[in-house]
Structure 1
Amino acid sequence: MMEQNGLIKLKEGVGYNATQADIIENKKKFVFKEVDLLMLARSLDDVDMAAMYPAYAKPLGLTPKKDALITEKDDAHFAINLVARKDNANSDAIQKLAKHMTGPEVRKFFEDHYKDSVVPAF
């Protein structure tokens, strides 16, 4: 996200597996502190900026649409996925669930209840 928005540059090819060691350009001299996701809320008063998932921002009254300084580009890399064992992936029950969880009713539910923090990836 930070590279996509021009804040840092990473080694070529590291993609989503990048670590701080992969930063090759940091012109703004950002100092990165890694904290447990559950500690993000407590650390907000001690940092200038925090990167977090919308699910962790929402209880703090923050939403990507009104509070984010930068956001990820449209990308389904972090989307929630339905997975199944090989022996039942094609079962009627799993196929029915897959159809319904990506249907218009679910999209509308997200838009009605989570429009500021959830973007359906379907």
Structure 2
Amino acid sequence: MSSRLSAPLIAAATSAVLLLTSCGAGSTDSAAEGDQVIRVASHMPPMTDVVELASEAAAEDGWDVELVRVNDNVQYNRLLVDGEVDASFAQHEPYMERFNEENDADLTAIAPIYDAKVGFYSRDYDDVADIPDGAKVALPNDISNEGRALAILDEQGLITLREGVGFEGRLSDVEQNPHDFEWVQVDLLNLASAYEEDDVALVYNYPTYISKVGLTPEDALFLEETVDQRFSISLVARAEDEESEKIQALHEAMTGEEVRDFLAEEHSATLLPAF
């Protein structure tokens, strides 16, 4: 049984509004020439925090990292494909691969940076055993995150997926739904709003998005137990630039001890360093 939760979409005009912030302190002459400037698209903390922190390390080697802020989960890849930025930091590899397939793009994951603690939240229930049969369960409507959400439900014994699909599962792969859950498919950015809907019992979400309603993974009804690093939030670039000096410098800066310590010390409740 499936339904779709109505939620306001972000207007395309709003999505295209960018805030360009210079993070680095590179040479003025080099920045003017453009050869020492590395532009990185991202959209919200802690991803933007990581870029800003990495910029400090990159500046020591003469690179000027510029953070390009976007408003949704599309623009950072559009900018990268169009050559407006050099890299993005906002997605996991399966999401990137789906974007490549749907847009005939050639983006590549350069390095995993952190694993978000994802899981399911409930406003009305403190124990999964109390969730009634026929309850609505909100899932992300993009394929890569849908598969991850279903795998967690399978892991918890709430559904049974077709053997072997793992994190690649779709709703059509649900072989057993003993609680007769009703699936509500929602854009990832709107899942936090679904949590506040009166008739939604379970909502899948990331720490970054669920924080909008004042929650952390500690508030989750259950979290993902088996972590697959394909879902690490990763530094992404165009495949043709993978070995370029800019991307190698950015890779080094974003996988430095400063970033690792920041993730481990400031965000241990929501994520795990992946490098």
Q: Same fold (TM over 0.5)?
A: yes
Greater fraction strand = 2
> What secondary structure is seen at the aligned counterpart in 2 of 1:34?
strand
1:11 to 155, 162, 167: 162
Deviation at 1:76, TM superposition (A): 1.2
How big is the shift at 1:57? 0.8
The reply on whether 1:49 has 2:202 as its aligned counterpart is: yes
Q: Which amino acid aligns with 2:270?
A: S
> For residue 234 of structure 2, what is the aligned residue in structure 1?
81
Matched positions, count: 121
Moved over 6 A (4+): none
Is 1:97 aligned to residue 257 of structure 2?
no
Q: Give the distance between the partners of 1:60 and 1:113, measured in 2 at CA.
A: 20
Q: Contact conserved, 1:58 with 1:117, CA < 8 A, in 2?
A: no
Q: Please name the residue that 2:268 is paired with.
A: 115
1:60 paired with 2:174, answer no
Cα contact 1:63–1:116 (8 A) shared by 2: yes
Question: Structure 1, residues 51-78: CA drift from partner, whole Å, max 9, x if none?
Answer: 11111111211111x1122222222122
**Greater RCO, 1 or 2 (C-alpha within 8 Å, sep 6+):** 2
Supply the RMSD in Å over aligned alpha carbons.
1.9
Residues 14-68 of structure 1: CA deviation (Å, up to 9, x unaligned): 233322221011223322211222332222232111111111111211111x112
Amino acid at match of 1:38: L
- The secondary structure found in structure 2 opposite 1:84 is strand
Structure 1's unaligned 5+ residue stretches are: none
Distance 1:20 1:111, change over 3 A: same
The whole-number CA distance in structure 2 between the counterparts of 1:86 and 1:39 is: 31
Deviation, structure 1 residue 82? 2.2
1:88 and 1:38, CA in 2 relative to 1: closer, same or farther beyond 3 A? closer
- Structure 2: where are the runs of 5+ without partners? 1-151
Deviation for aligned residue 1:106: 0.6
